[in-house]
Amino acid sequence: MAIEDLNQRVNIPTLPLDSVDPARFSQLVETAKDCFQVELTRFFDFHRPQFQSVKAEVPTIEKYELGFKPNENAIETFTRILLQHPDITEKLPLVAITAATGNFLKLGFGSQFVDAVQLPARIKGTQIGPFALVDGDKISFRTKPDGKTFITSTILFKSQLFVNIGAATIEEVIAAANVQLLYVTAKKTQYTTPVGVLRLDAIGPLAKIYPNEIEILGPPFSTANALTRLGFVAGQKDVCASRPPANRYQLAQNLTIGIDLGTESENERREMTDLLNYFFSLEMDKRDFTFLGRSIFDDEFQIAPGQYENFQLILKDQHSLAGEAEIPRQAGSGEQKDLIYINRIQVPCTIIDYVDRSLLTPPQTLDRATLTQARVDSDGLPAGDHKNFGETSG
């Protein structure tokens, strides 16, 4: 029987198969289909310890674009997908993510505007654990949690907080920090260089995100060993104003994702159907039936234009079977079995994507051509009452 790792429950980012081609800006349907492809591919991963108890043969998992003409339906479209390929490229068993239908979802009254946002001030170390700390090591920093007054915070490293303080893991350091901090939050970088180092954000239960700043304090507030081992430098500083403010908007849709199975036998169709039911019921239960974008876990990842991944995909745990069918193989395929056995699973879900629009980007289109966003008088916008004020930016 497979052994479950309870540490893997919930709050796991959905990582794209190709990190240079992530889920894109506000493409809700394609983002949802990408999530299903990525997560199902991991579920059937040959390298998983539990693989042998899942499936002896790895299925092909791909996305397809569908047309919905009056004389078409999903099963017919899937049939054509199989028939138009020669047998050598059928790659059976096949899991085809073929359809996404649904409707726009409004999450509240008024506009799609959510809030004005700004990424918090943060400082990062340069060293990757384990860290050779000693009992009594400490690291101190100061922040402005109310935007005005400096507060000094200290993380004290005691041996009882670690299995072995001389070889402290990054997870132990983060746990020791967060149990002591109210104005700062410790985390590990996951997707931004350097990966796997300690990051301290000027946010916390008693702190405002902005205006705020954070600065590392040297001895006697911090011990030299702690600074060296964690990779910090006295005087290291960051302010939230170094990151541009933005307006955040939400886009949401109720979707039904169609997943079509293609196999070479009735038994294999039954096995694949059972495994997919298992994935959407029990595996997704570990994740609270939710896929989360990478930017939720590491907001620096979204700084590059076009790489926003502030999405949440919620499965409704009401997947259904649309019906089994058999279709003929392509003529002349050379296979003795002349049928392909198919089935369809429909998965209702809701996807919410949060889109940030910078407030400091120069106007490019009419909907953004406002005086409060203009940088200088020479940008061609009318100055109006601001004519004698030089710059017309707000």
Helix (H) or strand (E) holding 81, with range, is helix 74-83
pLDDT over 90 (residue 97)? no
Q: List domains and CATH numbers for the chain.
A: 6-110+249-356 (no CATH), 119-242 (2.60.40), 368-394 (no CATH)
C-alpha to C-alpha distances, 229 to 16, 128, 162, 291, nearest whole angstrom: 33, 9, 15, 35
pLDDT over 90 (residue 306)? no
Q: Which of 78-92, 203-217, 332-346, 348-362 has the highest mean pLDDT?
A: 203-217
The mean pLDDT of the chain is: 78
- The tally of CA atoms less than 13 A away on the side-chain side of residue 179 is 10
Helix (H) or strand (E) holding 177, with range, is helix 170-178
> What is the C-alpha to C-alpha distance for residues 319 and 344, in angstroms, rounded to an integer?
10
Q: Which residues, other chains included, contact 41 with Cβ-Cβ below 8 Å and sequence gap of 6+?
A: 17, 61
CB 22 within 8 A of CB 31: no
pLDDT of residue 23: 52
pLDDT of residue 87: 46
pLDDT of residue 244: 76
> What is the C-alpha to C-alpha distance for residues 39 and 23, in angstroms, rounded to an integer?
13
Q: Which segment of 105-119, 173-187, 188-202, 212-226 scores lowest on mean pLDDT?
A: 105-119
pTM as predicted: 0.73
* Segment 35-63, tens digit of pLDDT: 898 888 888 876 666 656 665 566 777 77
Give the confidence band of 68 by pLDDT, cuts at 50, 70, 90.
Answer: very low
* Segment 214-230, tens digit of pLDDT: 999 999 999 999 999 99
Give the confidence band of 169 by pLDDT, cuts at 50, 70, 90.
Answer: very high
15, exposed or middle or buried, with CB in 10 Å at 0-12, 13-18, 19+?
middle
User: Which residue is it, tokens 């104005």?
Assistant: 183
- pLDDT, mean of residues 137-161: 92
* Segment 315-351, tens digit of pLDDT: 998 999 887 888 776 665 545 567 888 888 999 999 9
- pLDDT, mean of residues 365-375: 41
pLDDT of residue 188: 92
Q: Which segment of 63-72, 158-167, 170-179 scores lowest on mean pLDDT?
A: 63-72
Give the confidence band of 358 by pLDDT, cuts at 50, 70, 90.
Answer: confident
> What is the C-alpha to C-alpha distance for residues 200 and 216, in angstroms, rounded to an integer?
10
Residue 240 burial (CB count, 10 A): 23
> What is the C-alpha to C-alpha distance for residues 347 and 256, in angstroms, rounded to an integer?
5
